[in-house]
Amino acid sequence: MTLPRLRRLRPDSLAGWLAVLLLATLILSGGLLSAIFLGQRGDLGRRAAAGPALERLTEAHQQLAALSGMERQRLAHTLRSPAFHLFVGPEPLVLPPGPEAPASRLERRLAISLGERLDLFPQAAAVLINPETTDPRLRLPERPGFGWRGGRGGRGGPPRLGPDGGDGDQPPSGPERWLDHLQRQAGPAGTVLLVSLPLPDGEVLNAVAVLAPPLPPHPGTLPLLALPLLVLLGVAAVALVALRRATRPLERLAAAAERVGIDLNAPPLSESGPGEVRRASHAFNRMQERLARFVTDRTRMLAAISHDLRTPITRLRLRAELIDDEEMRERMIADLDEMEEMIAATLAFARDEAAGEDLEAVDPARLLGDLTKSFAEAGAKVRLDDRRPAGDRQPIAGRPMALRRAFANLIDNAMKYGGEARLTLLAGGDELVVEIDDNGPGLPEEALEEVFRPFHRLEGSRSRQTGGAGLGLAVVRSVVRGHGGDVRLANRPPRPPDDPGGLTARVALPANAAPARDDSPEG
């Protein structure tokens, strides 16, 4: 898997991150535990199985050390049993471990344990487990004299295992076959133990024991192993639930921050949960409060100024009437009219802002349909075309009055400057797009943005005596941005034969916004 692809799998949420972290730790520690446990279980089982044999061996060594010659041989013979063979000879069957022939850990442990019990030099005891014929520490006697004479009941003879010293099989003859026989007798899971212990007078006590296969894993073993894993899983589950609970307020905070741009008067966040979250929610609520107050203050100030300007304008108008020069008088009165119009527009805008309309589910097709209908009834050339796919026609969260006014302003401009208005509804992913096309002259590129400034009108529009106070597009942008969207103007090149070109106003609004209000109780 390549790195970018891995990156895409990377969890995005805090809870996801921690879940992955926990899971990784869990799997790692669980795997390590199991590996250690399972790795030791085999050794432990075999060590336990070797216990009785070591016990017997220790006793035999002590007894045989006290004897010598024939008596020793005789006792060795007596101490035998089908799965436990002793024979005393001049040479060891097994060599102690050396640099080229190391011993396994279990072999070392057993040897040390024997050496300690018998008070021997630790390396003196040599133990070999499940030897192979090629084992460098194995010294299988090739010739008789070591008590390797073969044949039933031969004194000091080769270990013939099974009931009464020789089983029903062909008695093994060569050393390889002897070893083979032992291993067959032990079975695949069983263990063959070869031990050589020096006796005080230089002779060596050799022992071969076939250990029973270790007991099948104790039924309690698996639960024992599963218990820590279960505990870990439980902890992980609890941690995850707790984490989700702890991070949920963060999600609410993010949603609230998103919403505050659209609805400053949304109800405050509940200030509950862990301390950090509570403080964050509190800070957020205070910020929203201050923002709302700030906006209200500004709107009030705007309204007050506009309102108070009316009185001096009225006085000016009265005085203008007294001017004798008729042309001068007309021009002054025209300017005063314009001023009044601007002030009236500003007042209207401030009033709408202050009204603080609530967000609600708005069907854009319906809203625009009503609007185009009323324009058409007034004799305007307006068309509406809903090109959204059938599955993409959900209502949006909006303030219907404000939206109506914004679109009315755009249609109004299209009529005034472009003769007709064609509205197209489009679905653009998580956006609802409304395009308003006209067939007018469009705008110079540098004016496309400027015309959104309050009272910014092109010289042409002034002299043509079209239009209003120059606040139309400013209101449009204020409303659309207040919904979390935006509006832009663009010149549309002519596309023969139907489209002579003109200006396109493109309004994009968030589509998925159901009127979300966070008053869901803490869950």
Ligand X SMILES: Nc1ncnc2c1ncn2[C@@H]1O[C@H](COP(=O)(O)OP(=O)(O)O)[C@@H](O)[C@H]1O
Interface with Mg ion (CB under 5 A): 413, 467, 472
Q: Which is nearer to ligand X, 398 or 470 (CB)?
A: 470
CA distances from 178 to 142, 153, 202 (A): 11, 15, 26
Contact by Cβ (8 Å): 122, 111: yes
Distance in Å, CB of 238 to ligand X, minimum:
60
From the list ligand X, Mg ion, none, partner contacted by residue 469 (C-beta under 5 to 8 A by kind):
ligand X
Distance in Å, CB of 388 to ligand X, minimum:
24
Distance in Å, CB of 514 to ligand X, minimum:
31
From the list Mg ion, ligand X, none, partner contacted by residue 86 (C-beta under 5 to 8 A by kind):
none
Q: Which is nearer to ligand X, 285 or 461 (CB)?
A: 461
CA distances from 286 to 197, 247, 252, 283, 389 (A): 87, 21, 16, 5, 42
Place of tokens 């919403």: 259
| E-strand stretches of 460-501 | 486-492
Number of other residues whose CB lies within 10 A of the CB of residue 104: 14
Q: Which is nearer to ligand X, 11 or 441 (CB)?
A: 441
Distance in Å, CB of 474 to ligand X, minimum:
6
Distance in Å, CB of 449 to Mg ion, minimum:
16
Q: Which is nearer to Mg ion, 193 or 410 (CB)?
A: 410
Place of tokens 């869950």: 523
The residue of the chain with the least Cβ separation from ligand X equals: 472
Q: Which is nearer to Mg ion, 183 or 413 (CB)?
A: 413
Distance in Å, CB of 385 to ligand X, minimum:
18
Neighbour-count burial of 228, counting CB atoms closer than 10 A to its CB (0-12 exposed, 13-18 middle, 19+ buried): middle
Q: Which is nearer to ligand X, 159 or 472 (CB)?
A: 472
From the list ligand X, Mg ion, none, partner contacted by residue 421 (C-beta under 5 to 8 A by kind):
none
Copy the structure tokens of residue 111.
């040897």
The CA distance from 292 to 341, in Å, is 28
β 360-362/396-398 pair status: antiparallel
Closest CA to 110 of 50, 40, 57, 39: 50
State the Cα torsion 52-57-60-64 to the nearest 10°.
180
Give me the residues paired with residue 361 across strands: 397
The CA distance from 435 to 503, in Å, is 10
Q: Which is nearer to Mg ion, 413 or 504 (CB)?
A: 413
From the list Mg ion, ligand X, none, partner contacted by residue 128 (C-beta under 5 to 8 A by kind):
none
From the list Mg ion, ligand X, none, partner contacted by residue 417 (C-beta under 5 to 8 A by kind):
ligand X
- Contact positions toward ligand X, by CB under 6 A? 409, 413-414, 417-418, 438, 440, 443, 451, 457-458, 461, 467-474, 503
Distance in Å, CB of 505 to ligand X, minimum:
7
